[in-house]
Amino acid sequence: MGKNGRLRWNPFSHKSTSSSSSSSTRQQQQQQQPPIEFICPISKTIMSDPVVVSSGQTFERVSVQVCLDLAFIPKLTDHDDDDSPPDFSTVIPNRNMKSTIDGWCDSVGVERPHPPDYSAVETNLRQQMPPSSEVEIRVSEQELLRAVADRAPVIYHHADSELMNRRRLDNSSSSDESVIVAHQSPFITPLPLTTRPACFSPSSSSSEIEILNYSPEEEEIYTKLKSSDVFDQEQGLIMMRKMTRTKDEARVSLCSSRILSLLKFMIVSRYSLVQTNSLASLVNLSLEKTNKLTIVRLGFVPLLIDVLKSGSKEAQEHAAGSIFSLSLEDDNKMPIGVLGALQPLLHALRAAESDRTRHDAGLALYHLSLNQTNRLKLVRLGAVPVLFSLVRSGESASRALLVICNLACCSEGRSAMLDANAVAILVGKLREEERRREESRSSAAARENCVAALFALSHESLRFKGLAKEARVVEVLKEVEERGTERAREKARKILQLMRERVPEEDDDDGEGTVDWDRVILDSNGSIRSRFRDGGGGRNRMVTQNSSGF
């Protein structure tokens, strides 16, 4: 029994009871065993603080930290559904899993889990490590402390060591809104006592290691934001919004942890002016490249998602703009998707009241869908029918086409598009654009993206050719080949070349028609590449469909 009369779950008590136990007792014990999804593959215990890593797997936070400290990637042999090596470069709290585990514990009367012992996990992992790797393991913390004691004392006023960061991460409770990025390479042991920027600290004490050198303007803004008077808060935010609109140096200096911590409270304020100006200030701060990672790691994305779902019209505009700006950073793409931004962005693209919100939501989805994990998420969220309905209706069609081109880079996306009658819709859009060209109202970018999407779909050649013939794609592409832009003409020529190839089923008697299957090559990342002739040169070159060229 644990506290309050609840049963304590023992992760090591998986053996059956003695033969004298009743069947009802055995059934009760089986019901109290947690689902396999609740068990950390490394520590083999139910997770108290589950986190998602870059490879998409979920682990106990302490287990991830031990693996990083040991620079060791364990083999996950117990999970048949996903035995790929984990990637610990990014760690994001899994709030849904944590709430599910807590709910299960409450429902069966089991005490909620506690974090596993660091040393126990470390001992278990060391047993899995090959003998040759032991020499690469970092020096133990006790040895580091003894080494420091033998030297002259050095006072670090504003530096936070790797050792301190590890201890703080182990001892602090998890933050549902924090995104913690680990070492660049999990195979490289960090040097002891090296420093990190203050904004990287996973604990709330990052202000202790900031250099306290604030400008008078920043001090005034901080004082106003900290005030309990709503009018002072509004004035401070207006001042901050004006300063960060054009001054790059102001964006850098004001993106400090003490300002951002207050800005988070302003974003959830019930006062409309406070919320709007705080969001506008955040958009300005996010324009600086060095600030993008900091803002995501300090937990702003869940707040922006909430505003995008239920904020005012102007607040939604700024929220969509912020997510779009943050998504430009490659290291932010996966965390933003994991934190749940894809579905609200898709809804905003389809149904937002403001044109600016739809515009920025579409651009955010385009940049986020450059990430393979986000592509799969969007396909599984049912994005393909939504995007093609926008293309058909003409509303936000240009932004929808950008996302469609990215989704067509994965086989799941292509399959979903062919199921959604994508070929006929894209050919119809091309015909419409050709008619609009005669009226000088056509968009060259829209035509290019339609052709690019058709080119990506043509990699499913057998199925595509039948659908393309029904849609009479040849006559439309010939017009593009004659009058389109250079990029559109190039892809149109390649699709027409594919359409001229003969498939064995099309031959009546001789069966001489063949498909050159060497043209279709599946690379190691699962994307499909097609080999085409380089016009006139006689040499083969690899052409990979990539919508980012448009």
**CB contact at 8 A, 346 and 378:** yes
What is the rounded distance in angstroms from the CA atom of residue 338 to the CA atom of residue 320?
17
Task: Give SS3 for 284.
Answer: helix
The DSSP line for 121-188 is HHHHHHHHS-GGGGGGSPPPHHHHHHHHHTS-----SS--BHHHHHHHHHHSPP-TT--EE--S-TTS
Q: Sheet containing 58-60: give its strands across.
A: 58-60, 50-53, 90-93, 180-181
Compute φ and ψ for 43, nearest 5 degrees: -80, -15
From the centroid of its chain, how far is CA 156?
A: 36
Residue 231 token pair: 């009018």
Which CA distances in Å does 55 have to 177, 344, 372? 20, 23, 11
3-state secondary structure 82-136: CCCCCCCCEEEECHHHHHHHHHHHHHHCECCCCCCCHHHHHHHHHHHCCHHHHHH
CA distance 243 to 439: 45
Distance CA(447)–CA(433), nearest Å, equals 7
Q: Which residue has tokens 């505009």?
A: 317
pLDDT in tens, 72-131: 888 886 554 456 788 887 788 887 788 889 888 988 888 899 989 888 898 888 888 877
| CATH number for region 1-209 | 3.30.40.10
CB 484 within 8 A of CB 447: yes
One pLDDT digit (tens) per residue for the chain, 550 residues: 444 444 445 444 444 444 444 555 555 555 578 888 889 999 889 999 998 887 778 899 999 989 988 888 888 865 544 567 888 877 888 877 888 898 889 888 888 999 898 888 988 888 888 775 443 434 444 444 444 444 444 433 333 333 334 334 344 333 333 333 333 333 333 333 332 333 333 333 333 344 456 788 889 999 999 999 999 999 999 999 999 998 889 999 999 989 999 999 999 999 999 999 999 999 999 999 999 999 998 889 999 999 999 999 999 999 999 999 999 999 999 999 989 999 999 999 999 999 999 999 999 999 999 999 999 999 999 999 999 999 988 888 889 999 999 999 998 999 999 999 999 999 999 888 877 776 555 578 888 889 999 999 988 667 888 898 898 989 889 988 888 888 888 999 999 988 887 655 444 444 334 444 344 333 434 443 433 333 344 333 333 333 333 3
> pTM of the predicted model, to two decimals?
0.59
The CATH fold of domain 216-287: Leucine-rich Repeat Variant (1.25.10)
Query: Which residue in the block uniquely carries the two structure tokens 């520590």?
Result: 43
Cα angle 420, 425, 430 (rounded to 5 degrees) comes to 155
What phi-psi label fits residue 71: left (phi over 0), alpha (psi between -120 and 50 degrees) or beta?
left
- For 92, phi then psi, to 5°, come to -130, 130
> 300-337, pLDDT tens digit by residue?
999 999 999 999 999 999 999 999 999 999 999 999 99
Residue boundaries of the structural domains of the chain: 1-209, 216-287
Q: Which two tokens stand for residue 381?
A: 């969220």
